[in-house]
Structure 1
Amino acid sequence: MKKTSNKVVLIGAGTVGTSFLYSAINQGIASDYVLIDILPQAAEGNALDLADTMAVLPNPFTSIKSGNYSDCTDADVIVITAGLPQKEVKSRLDAVVVNALIMKTIALEVKNSGFKGITIIASNPVDVQTLIYQEVTGFDQHRVIGSGTTLDSSRLRRLLADKLNVGAESVDAFMAGEHGDSSVAVWSHASVMGQPISKYIADKKITQAELDEIRDEAVNIAYKIISLKHATFYGIGVCLAKILKAVLRNERTTLMVGAKLNGEYNNNGLFTGVPAIIGENGWSSIIEWDLNDFEQAQFNKSCEILLAAISKAHEAIK
């Protein structure tokens, strides 16, 4: 079979998946797209709708269609967004059992297709789902990437920028650990135009209490959005497109993705949000920051929460 250049398969043609596709095709990231969904008509309808953009985009793609798991065989990247919507549960972790069963089914289909590329996962709870997928498929851990805390970090940057009245692109700020309620704001490595956030505290431009409030808002903003419009999808869609671009263009950039810990940050055996280098072979290595004692303790707690959820997922799929 002839290899298609830059072929991307989306599994889960709901609002998150289609928002990702819309972002990717507007940026001209890939050339060919395939949509797979448990509801074939949803995949076909969205493919037809998105195809209407081809004639007017500055960087048009080659094709977009609905398909099935046989389309995974020669794909470069699979992006998985399928699962129970968060609006139906109180938190991401509440969906762990149902979504683990869904992910096992998807993982087996992908494995049986003969897929050899990179997988990017955003299905919630994403840290747990990424591990389940990697374990069921047996794929090299480096070729499986969770969306991790890319969105959480984007939210943190925007909120901190608003507080300091600067552009968000001037801010480096990161959330680590679970994509969820226990995520950790790594303030010890936050800066604005290269100036550490500690200097802003020393100059009384912001207080630690205000930073804590920003962290809490970054964690809880998803619930606010869901209460207003029943779902969140634009932010994660753009984050997934950014990860995809880093893979297909071999950017070797560092993102807060879900990578598998093997002793890094004093934790082991789970995928969670950490800074990792992303390129054509997936994530190549994890960058280990020196966390302060409070951050390390919070990160450990986040991992403990995830490991408990992973245990539930393992019980459900065995």
Structure 2
Amino acid sequence: MVVSNKQKVILIGDGAVGSAYAFALVNQGIGHELGIIDVDTARTEGDALDLRHALPFLPPKKIYSASYTDCADADLICITAGTAQKPGETRLDLVSRNLSILKTIVDAVMATGFKGIFLIASNPVDILTYATLKWSGLPSEQVIGSGTSLDTARLRQTLAEKINVEAGSVHGYVLGEHGDTGFIAWSNIRIGNLPIEKWLPDFTDEAKEEFRIAVRDAAYSIIAKKGSTSYGVASALARITRAVFNNENAVLPVSAYMDGSHYGISDIYLGTPAVIGRSGISLVAEVPLNRKEQEEMEHSAATLKAILKDSIV
């Protein structure tokens, strides 16, 4: 599958994340057509109208309140629909609620003959991306989860603030689950071309673990303060969408399908850098891990597989 020149996006789920994603697409001039689907059609109509009123300041785009029939010729469908994570809940607590919602959505989309790319952001994103793969029947390269894109952004920004450099100079990834078992691959962290120890010579293992927890729990802090996270993940989704439409072959951290040829892990979606272009994921860019990190990757996979075992997938 190759995306068409019309670069048509259908967004399903017009809540905090979905509306922020739509705004990011419009502001950044990503795509030529945007349709918005939600059970609350009044909201999608209002958002579409509001977004169109921004177009005199921005590149032109067709924006409208959509229905599932509009999915047939879409190039990319982004799913942000689902119940939100509540204070005190983990992403995995959302499994049963959001799987049932997702099944209805995927069935409705595939009934239209959709052959494009799914981009999943609803939580728990790794499990819901896996479910989308199974229920859609599409090739795994066309089913992408936002994965650890936001976690990695939080890592880079937080580390940049600690060292007092700009975030674009921080290179490295959060890998594994987008959730509590996700981990920082410290052995691969570079600021500029220098390892972290050159910048923080007293950065002990205990300090690294405290840093990991702070990055991991950033979402909980934001949810406690404002009820939900939206801007960071929306920006990550927009970045992935841009890479697809521009055929950038950009290396981005996403949730990608593990087929047994990477990390020694099979039949699960996990956060890892991957090459993203017009056909979706063309290559999983496996990060070399030390023994501890490999064990953490396997722990993430085992945690997710245990949840899947008891799910409806």
With the length of structure 1 as denominator, give the TM-score of the two structures.
0.94
Match of 2:40 in 1: 39
1:102-130 residue CA offsets vs partner (Å, 9 max, x unmatched)? 11111111111111111110010000000
Unpaired runs of at least 5, structure 1: none
* CA positional deviation for 1:43: 1.2
1:260 matched to 2:257? The reply is: yes
SS at match of 2:219: helix
Match of 1:15 in 2: 16
Match of 1:164 in 2: 163
Match of 1:232 in 2: 229
Pairwise mapping of residues 176-191 of structure 1 onto structure 2 (< 5 A)?
A: 176-191=175-190
* CA positional deviation for 1:200: 3.5
Given that 2:87 and 2:223 are in contact with CA atoms closer than 8 Å, whether structure 1 keeps it comes out as: no
Query: What amino acid sits opposite 1:9 in the alignment?
Result: I
* CA positional deviation for 1:182: 0.7
SS at match of 1:113: coil
Distance in 1 separating the partners of 2:167 and 2:199: 16
Distance in 2 separating the partners of 1:112 and 1:139: 13
Match of 1:54 in 2: 55
Pairwise mapping of residues 66-77 of structure 1 onto structure 2 (< 5 A)?
A: 66-77=65-76
Q: How many residues align?
A: 309
Unpaired runs of at least 5, structure 2: none
Query: What amino acid sits opposite 2:38 in the alignment?
Result: D
* CA positional deviation for 1:87: 2.1
1:145-169 residue CA offsets vs partner (Å, 9 max, x unmatched)? 0001000000000111111111111
Distance in 2 separating the partners of 1:156 and 1:72: 35
Distance in 1 separating the partners of 2:66 and 2:81: 15
Query: What amino acid sits opposite 1:240 in the alignment?
Result: L
Match of 1:269 in 2: 267
Given that 1:89 and 1:95 are in contact with CA atoms closer than 8 Å, whether structure 2 keeps it comes out as: no
* CA positional deviation for 1:205: 5.2
Distance in 1 separating the partners of 2:226 and 2:134: 35
Distance in 2 separating the partners of 1:274 and 1:261: 10
Given that 1:188 and 1:198 are in contact with CA atoms closer than 8 Å, whether structure 2 keeps it comes out as: no
SS at match of 2:222: helix
* CA positional deviation for 1:304: 0.8
Pairwise mapping of residues 68-217 of structure 1 onto structure 2 (< 5 A)?
A: 68-87=67-86, 90-201=89-200, 204=201, 206-217=203-214
Given that 1:4 and 1:74 are in contact with CA atoms closer than 8 Å, whether structure 2 keeps it comes out as: no
Distance in 1 separating the partners of 2:50 and 2:130: 33
Distance in 2 separating the partners of 1:163 and 1:62: 40
SS at match of 2:56: coil
- Deviating beyond 6 angstroms after TM superposition, the runs of 4 or more aligned structure 1 residues are none
With the length of structure 2 as denominator, give the TM-score of the two structures.
0.96
Given that 1:30 and 1:61 are in contact with CA atoms closer than 8 Å, whether structure 2 keeps it comes out as: no
